[in-house]
A and B are shown apart, each in its own frame.
Chain A
Amino acid sequence: MKMMKKITLIAIGLLISVSSSIAIADAKSDAVSACGAAENARKAAAQAKMEWTTTGKLIKAANKAIEKGQFDKALSACNKAKFEGETSVKQAGIELLAWNSRVPN
């Protein structure tokens, strides 16, 4: 009976340990993937000559957070950075047409 109890406890412990490792790996993978997408968006903004000063800083901070194992923080920062990069590219597209409307005549 005692033996059965021990085996059950060990099995539960192993299960918890494996599932939490999987969760951590998933969180890290999500963060790394989000930061890759954010970096691509930043590069597109730079290519359109419309990069914001804030985007690179967010990605840099997120990469540091990944090193520290703070994956939720990294994911959030990189999602924001991706949004900024994409918005910068849209801004560049809008301005290609809009700038001329501000020229006095």
Chain B
Amino acid sequence: MGYIKMIRITALTILGLILFAGAAVATPEGDRKAFSDFYTNRFSDIPASDFVNGVYAIDAASRVQWEQIEDFPPYELDIDDGEVLYQAPFANGKTYASCFGDDLSVIRGKYPNWDADKAIVMTLELAINNCREANNEKPLKYKKGAIAQLSSYIAMQGRGNSINVVIPADSSAAMEAYENGKEFFYSKRGQLNFSCSDCHMSNSGNKVRADLLSPALGHTSHFPVYRSKWGGLGTLHRRFGGCNKNVRAKPFSAQGEEYRNLEYFLSYMNNGLELNGPGARK
């Protein structure tokens, strides 16, 4: 603990000195542009808008198979189930519309956002459970099942809208959440000592065993996803946990602060891209 504290103080001092020296200070928008430029330079033949298709944007062979899968999407029944769940009244007679409003097409695009009252990053899945609890219903589990079905139904209605995550300029707490998510993305962790960026930035397009590593640009656009590996639908935080386990890092709780901040950062990096969830992946 003492060691970490010492290093943290040293790191903050060094960062402070850099700022004092007048070095260029990164802004979220500057980060986003550099992030996007990294991928559009690395894969210069891929239009930026195509990164929402994940690994299929950079792998022509598997894209053909994926497009065939999307002809009869494996998540279709989940969307139907999600609609039933969404429209079904709670015990008090109200529905999800009492929390999210009547225009289904705009819900997905509102998340993640900075909830100033709670001073946290609010995600769609957390908002769904907040809605349930406000209506005296039990919260759902966060990784799969009903919450992923509800999320997929809402995502389907919001397809085609642009990602537009906002970090309120007047909120240092929102900025801190964004910075924490950014630090998480670039920090190596686990016994294998890999960061998210090691796989999905530096090595995107390279193979890890038999699989091609997808670019992080566009990652959040298509969740929840039906993964063949899972044999079902799962949320973005389920995927985060899986990635952490792959590098032998103990995963954090789905919808815990770490993954919500990571979602905030990654979604901001995708600003301007099209929402195209739910998706199908290997």
Partner of A99, one of B4, B8, B14, B186: B186
Q: Is A44 an interface residue (CB 8 A)?
A: yes
The total of chain A residues at the interface (CB under 8 A) is 28
Known: A53-B250, A54-B191, A56-B250. A103 touches B37 (CB 8 A): no
Give 1 or 0 for each of B197-232: 1 = CB within 8 Å of chain A CB.
110011000000000000000000000000000000
Contact A96-B4, Cβ < 8 Å, known A49-B258, A52-B191, A53-B250 = yes
Q: Is the CB of B249 within 8 A of A51?
A: yes
Query: Do B186 and A103 have beta carbons less than 8 Å apart?
Result: yes
Min CB distance, B246 to chain A, in Å?
A: 10
A49 to B253, CA, bound (A): 12
Q: Which residues of B contact A96 (CB under 8 A)?
A: 4, 7-8, 11
Please tell me which one of the listed residues A47, A99, A102 contacts residue B1 in the complex, with CB atoms under 8 A apart.
A47
Contacts of B14 in A (CB 8 A): 97
User: In the assembly, what is the distance between CA of A105 and CA of B24, in Å?
Assistant: 10
Chain A minimum-CB-distance residue to B197: A102
Q: How far in angstroms is the closest Cβ of chain B from A2?
A: 65
Residue from A44, A53, A105 in contact with B249 in the complex, judged by beta carbons closer than 8 Å: A53
Q: Determine if B3 and A89 form an interchain contact, defined as CB atoms under 8 angstroms apart.
A: yes
Please name all residues of chain A whose beta carbon is closer than 8 Å to the beta carbon of B31 when the two chains form the complex.
103
Report chain A residues within 8 Å CB of B249. Answer: 50-53
Q: Select from chain B the residue with minimum beta-carbon distance to A103.
A: B186
Q: Is the CB of A93 within 8 A of B7?
A: yes
A92 is an interface residue with CB less than 8 A from chain B = yes
* Residue B115 lies at the interface, judged by CB distance under 8 Å to chain A: no
Would you call B186 and A100 a contact (CB within 8 A)? yes
Bound together, the chains give a CA A84 to CA B189 distance in angstroms of: 12
Q: Beyond A46-B250, A47-B1, is A104–B190 a contact (Cβ under 8 Å)?
A: no
CB–CB B11/A103 < 8 A: no
Give A28 Cβ to nearest chain B Cβ, in Å. Answer: 29
Contact partner of A104 (CB less than 8 A), chosen from B4, B37, B193, B252, is B37
Mind listing 9 A-B residue pairs with CB under 8 Å? A46-B250, A47-B1, A49-B252, A93-B4, A96-B7, A97-B7, A104-B35, A104-B37, A105-B34
